[in-house]
Amino acid sequence: PEAIVVSELANRMAERVGDVVKSLMQMGMMVTQNQTIDADTAELIIEEFGHTVNRVSDADVEQVIHEVEDKPEDLQPRPPVITIMGHVDHGKTSLLDAIRNAKVVAGEAGGITQHIGAYQVVTDTGAVLSFLDTPGHAAFTSMRSRGAQVTDIVVLVVAADDAVMPQTVEAINHAKAAKVPMIVAINKIDKPGANPDKVRTDLLQHEVIVEKMSGEVQDVEVSAINGDGLDDLLEAIALQSELLELKANPNRAAQGAVIEAQLDVGRGPVATVLIQNGTLRQGDIFVVGEQYGKVRALINDKGERIKEAGPSVPVEVLGLNGTPEAGDVLNVTSTEAQAREIAEYREKAAKDKRAAAGAATTLEQLMANA
Ligand code: GDP
Ligand code: MG
């Protein structure tokens, strides 16, 4: 165990706090129930009361958060999650805005204001699509390195007046490394200097062969400015999504990935979470990275409070004890003790790792200076 407050220790052992205080006194420690005792003392007390010391291990964490394997018959179709990538100024933000604005029903609550770094739209043919706003290349990479694979489809934006640029190539490499299918959106076709075929030819050099070049990667000409081709792009995404046969089990404890998180002055720590499996509900207890909490409120992309969020739904989660990091995985647990133990275990593991890294550097420096 970690250092722990006496009352909390009593609570976790299901013993009376007065008895624990008395026991500590007999050991020569004059503490009140609100004081913290160190881990070694806690361990003695735990044994004194005839309980076993429970050390959380990687294996325990794995077991708690992956308790249930989904059976094929429990899986249901879920919307695709799409990330738009491409070179700076090729129109990623404009395209995201254009799609959102085109698909928001006039007069809808919240209007065109986007509240969180992700949103859902419904296409004219009824397909639901979830777009992620935040992951630029850096976020995409850091999320992947944290084990959160959040994207099902990458839309690669290439400006028709600029063709393939360094960050275009980076995006292609990310998508390939993550084995995520790509759709090429050839943007800015409204511009006088637009040359969509140059984009298609350039892409060949990076082993991206679009349909118009007899390949298998869908390519769509669009203009984020005047809206041309937007519906074609959405249909291309819906088609790609059907091929992927994306599924999840809405009837299980939720698992999700943090897209962004911040400490809000009025609301405390707030995380935008993309639900990846299961359904997250108000009141659920969860661990997320090194933090834990109990869902106090869920807020959707339109700023509305909702009671639950299922697979592929991006949602703002309130009720955290601290601010997690983008890419952290959220898991609902059955008890608060479980959630806290996993969070504390992870925090300690991260600390130990940093300390070890620090020690290694010092040693290296010593060697270098010797
Ligand atoms: P990002 O850096 O990829 O997010 O690119 P932005 O969306 O910020 O767009 C960069 C610039 O290109 C802005 O000035 C946009 O107005 C402009 N732009 C984006 N899409 C189009 C388009 O389809 N046509 C034209 N003419 N300009 C565009
Ligand atoms: Mg941008």
State the pLDDT at residue 64: 66
pLDDT in tens, 283-339: 999 999 999 999 999 999 989 999 999 999 999 999 999 999 988 999 999 889 889
Closest ligand by atom to 92 CA? 1
State the pLDDT at residue 50: 86
Q: 88 CA to middle of ligand 1, Å?
A: 9
Q: 93 CA to middle of ligand 2, Å?
A: 4
Residue with tokens 């390195």: 145
- CA distance linking residue 261 with residue 325, whole number of Å: 6
For residue 86, which atom of ligand 1 is closest to its CA? Answer: 3
For residues 305-314, b (16+ Cβ closer than 10 Å) or e, as one string? Answer: ebebbbbbbb
Query: Regarding predicted confidence, which is higher, 363 or 203?
Result: 203
Taking a C-beta distance cutoff of 8 angstroms, is the pair 174, 141 a contact? yes
Question: 3-class secondary structure for 10-75?
Answer: HHHHCCCHHHHHHHHHHCCCCCCCCCEECHHHHHHHHHHCCCCCCCCCHHHHHHHHCCCCCCHHHC
pLDDT in tens, 249-279: 999 999 999 988 999 999 999 999 999 999 9
Residues by chain with Cβ below 5 Å of ion ligand 2: 92-93
> Which of 220, 171, 161, 170 is closest to 194 using CA atoms?
161
Proportion of the chain above pLDDT 90, given as a percent: 57
Closest ligand by atom to 155 CA? 1
Q: 15 CA to middle of ligand 1, Å?
A: 63
Q: 91 CA to middle of ligand 1, Å?
A: 4
Confidence of residue 67 (pLDDT cuts 50, 70, 90): low
By DSSP bridging, strand 128-132 and strand 291-299 are unpaired
Binding positions: 86-93, 133-137, 187-190
For residues 53-80, b (16+ Cβ closer than 10 Å) or e, as one string? Answer: eeebeeeebeebbeeeeeeeeebeebbb
State the pLDDT at residue 66: 65
- Of 78-92, 135-149, 287-301, the poorest mean pLDDT is in 135-149
ipTM: 0.99
Amino acid identity of residue 8, one-letter, is E
State the pLDDT at residue 106: 46
Q: What is the mean pLDDT of residues 2-22?
A: 87
Q: What is the mean pLDDT of residues 333-360?
A: 84
pTM score: 0.80
Confidence of residue 110 (pLDDT cuts 50, 70, 90): very low
Pocket of ligand 1 (CB under 6 A): 86, 88-94, 187-188, 190-191, 223-225
